[in-house]
């Protein structure tokens, strides 16, 4: 897919013609499942406006303004929204969306509703756990792990069913030591204004580096990792033709967990890697994480929401995971985590005051992505508009600060 193939969306025609077809086809019931009855959203483009309202069992579409929650967009921004070039987060951080009334938190809750209606994408529910069965029809253990010596078909089935995979002992102690040496050096050389690193602030007011990007351009160790045969074999488990992206989408980046972070994106809430936008070309994409340190609740670890890569976007926090198949991954240096970018995942704060977990991520994407996103470009670039290496909070972005 290239940008030239994306449709230009006429705001009024889309609502008068396309949305009516979707409602007749029954998509409104799926969308309404994610929004309580009586809630509404008005989208304004120029002098035109349309309001979506949930009845609890279906969706009503009303021409004009009639909702408390109201956003306004330029025509090209609305077209990008429907084409999934940009999400509500990407449009907000790119200063292409104005929140006229209501809260951004309420707007985020509408994104899965719109995706269900516009794209017929199902809403995630706890009942999705019934989908986790092996090739032999028996229930899958969502906490199981594999090695590269295990059956490739079994691993592929687990990955494509659950959205993630854990592989043990993929890299040797010597290989991990070599990677850590480079990471420690690059971390030391990084500065908040270098545009190749992410920064956060801890409870003592210290600026701490929480990510270094484009490592393959800095050292041969990581240039070799991008084309490592083991990672190629892992990417093939996705069932799609995927290529490594060492020179775009942040390249090979190391994520660094820091204790007691109070500001910035060292700790990651539940999200999808297409959360800023680009679902049309980023997905299916795969992130392969080489663990350089122990992953645990104390040192920092990843969580995955099993099966969520088949579903619409959603808002989720750690207080809402009871009853859901949310899996925390413990790992050792040399282990590898694998996940589809569209699966919901999180990296909550580590509990130890000495936490220092590091993991290097190698992204694999469809060949068409290289026609859309050029070298040095990434969707995450929209996060850094102030030049200080720190990501603004949603509250700051929504108020223009």
Q: Percent of the chain, pLDDT > 70? A: 93
* CA distance linking residue 128 with residue 33, whole number of Å: 14
* Residue from 101, 89, 110 nearest 36 by CA: 110
Q: How far is CA 122 from CA 119, 234, 263, 298, 334, in A?
A: 9, 28, 34, 35, 36
Confidence of residue 399 (pLDDT cuts 50, 70, 90): low
Which residues 6+ apart lie within 8 Å of 137 measured at CB?
Answer: none
Instruction: Answer whether residue 377 shows pLDDT above 50.
Output: yes
Per-chain mean pLDDT for the chain: 92
Confidence of residue 130 (pLDDT cuts 50, 70, 90): low
Which residues 6+ apart lie within 8 Å of 6 measured at CB?
Answer: 79, 83, 85, 280
* CA distance linking residue 136 with residue 368, whole number of Å: 35
Q: pLDDT tens-digit profile of 58-99?
A: 999 999 998 889 999 999 999 999 999 999 999 998 999 999
* CA distance linking residue 276 with residue 160, whole number of Å: 23
- 392 vs 345: which has the higher pLDDT: 345
* Residue from 196, 222, 348, 217 nearest 288 by CA: 222
Q: Are 32 and 39 in contact (CB under 8 A)?
A: no
Give CA torsion, residues 317, 318, 320, 325, to 10 deg. Answer: 110
Q: Are 107 and 68 in contact (CB under 8 A)?
A: no
Instruction: Answer whether residue 111 shows pLDDT above 50.
Output: yes
Check residue 2 and give its pLDDT.
44
> Which residue blocks in 217-336 are alpha helix, DSSP H?
220-226, 229-236, 279-282
Average pLDDT of the segment spanning 208-237? 98
- 128 vs 329: which has the higher pLDDT: 329
* CA distance linking residue 116 with residue 111, whole number of Å: 9
Q: What is the DSSP letter of 196?
A: S
Instruction: Answer whether residue 212 shows pLDDT above 80.
Output: yes
Average pLDDT of the segment spanning 388-393? 56
Q: Are 117 and 15 in contact (CB under 8 A)?
A: no
Instruction: Answer whether residue 113 shows pLDDT above 80.
Output: yes
Q: What is the pTM of this model?
A: 0.91
- Look up residue 17 and give its two tokens: 């013609």
Check residue 387 and give its pLDDT.
55
Q: pLDDT tens-digit profile of 29-66?
A: 999 999 999 999 999 999 999 999 999 999 999 999 98
Average pLDDT of the segment spanning 112-141? 87
- Look up residue 247 and give its two tokens: 């020179």
Which domains does the chain carry? Answer: 3-119 (3.30.1050.10), 126-399 (2.60.120.620)
Q: Percent of the chain, pLDDT > 90? A: 84
Check residue 380 and give its pLDDT.
83
**Cα dihedral 225, 226, 231, 232 sign:** negative
Distance of CA 5 to the CA centre of its chain: 24
Check residue 1 and give its pLDDT.
36
Average pLDDT of the segment spanning 343-372? 96
> Which DSSP string corresponds to 66-126?
--SEEEEE-HHHHHHHHTTSS-HHHHHHTT-EEEEES-HHHHHHHHHHHHHHHH-PPPP-G
- 400 vs 282: which has the higher pLDDT: 282
Q: pLDDT tens-digit profile of 274-322?
A: 999 999 999 999 999 999 999 999 999 999 999 999 999 888 889 889 8
Average pLDDT of the segment spanning 107-124? 95
Q: Are 287 and 361 in contact (CB under 8 A)?
A: yes
Q: Are 301 and 295 in contact (CB under 8 A)?
A: yes
Distance of CA 173 to the CA centre of its chain: 30
The size of the chain, in residues, is: 401
Kindly provide the residue ranges of all beta strands, DSSP E only, lying in 64-172, ordered along the sequence: 69-73, 97-101, 164-167
Instruction: Answer whether residue 221 shows pLDDT above 70.
Output: yes
Instruction: Answer whether residue 7 shows pLDDT above 90.
Output: no
Q: pLDDT tens-digit profile of 242-280?
A: 999 999 999 999 999 999 999 988 899 999 999 999 999
Check residue 200 and give its pLDDT.
94
Check residue 396 and give its pLDDT.
57
Check residue 62 and give its pLDDT.
97
- Cβ count within 10 A of residue 224: 12
Check residue 314 and give its pLDDT.
82
* CA distance linking residue 196 with residue 355, whole number of Å: 23
Q: Measure CA of the first residue to CA of the last residue in the chain; give whole Å.
A: 36
Check residue 6 and give its pLDDT.
73
Instruction: Answer whether residue 4 shows pLDDT above 50.
Output: no
Give CA torsion, residues 339, 7, 315, 20, to 10 deg. Answer: -130
> Which DSSP string corresponds to 158-187?
HHHHHSEEEE-S-S-HHHHHHHHHHHHHHH
């Amino acid at each position: 897919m290239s940008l030239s193939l994306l449709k230009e969306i006429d705001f009024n025609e889309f609502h008068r013609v396309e949305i009516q077809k979707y409602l007749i086809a029954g998509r409104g019931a799926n969308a309404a499942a994610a929004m309580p009855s009586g809630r509404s959203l008005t989208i304004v483009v120029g002098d035109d406006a349309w309001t979506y309202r949930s009845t609890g069992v279906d969706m009503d579409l009303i021409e004009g303004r009639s909702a408390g929650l109201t956003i306004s967009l330029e025509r090209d921004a609305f077209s990008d929204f429907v084409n999934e070039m940009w999400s509500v987060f990407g449009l907000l951080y790119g200063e292409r969306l104005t929140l006229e009334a209501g809260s951004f938190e309420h707007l985020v809750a509408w994104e899965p509703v719109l995706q269900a209606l516009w794209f017929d994408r199902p809403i995630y529910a706890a009942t999705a756990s019934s989908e986790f069965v092996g090739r032999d029809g028996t229930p899958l253990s969502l906490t199981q792990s594999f090695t590269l010596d295990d059956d490739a078909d079994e691993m592929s089935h687990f990955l494509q069913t659950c959205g993630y995979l854990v592989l043990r002992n993929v890299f040797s102690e010597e290989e991990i030591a070599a990677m850590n040496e480079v990471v420690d050096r690059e971390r030391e050389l990084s500065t908040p204004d270098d545009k190749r690193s992410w920064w956060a602030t801890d409870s003592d007011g210290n600026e701490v580096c929480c990510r270094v990007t484009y490592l393959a351009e800095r050292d041969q160790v990581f240039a070799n990792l991008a084309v490592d045969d083991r990672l190629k074999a892992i990417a093939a488990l996705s069932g799609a033709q995927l290529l490594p992206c060492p020179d775009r989408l942040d390249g090979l980046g190391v994520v660094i967990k820091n204790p007691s972070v109070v500001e910035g994106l060292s700790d990651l809430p539940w999200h999808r890697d297409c959360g800023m936008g680009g679902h049309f070309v980023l997905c299916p994409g795969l992130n392969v994480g080489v663990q350089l340190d122990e992953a645990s609740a104390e040192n920092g670890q990843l969580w995955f929401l099993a099966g969520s890569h088949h579903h619409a976007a959603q808002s989720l926090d750690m207080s809402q995971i009871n009853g859901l198949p949310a899996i925390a991954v413990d790992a050792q240096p040399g282990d590898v985590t694998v996940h589809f970018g569209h699966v919901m995942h999180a990296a909550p704060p580590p509990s130890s005051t000495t936490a220092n977990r590091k993991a290097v991520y190698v992204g694999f994407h469809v060949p068409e992505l290289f026609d859309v996103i050029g070298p040095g470009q990434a969707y995450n670039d929209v996060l850094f508009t102030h030049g200080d290496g720190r990501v603004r909070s949603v509250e700051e972005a929504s108020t223009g600060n």
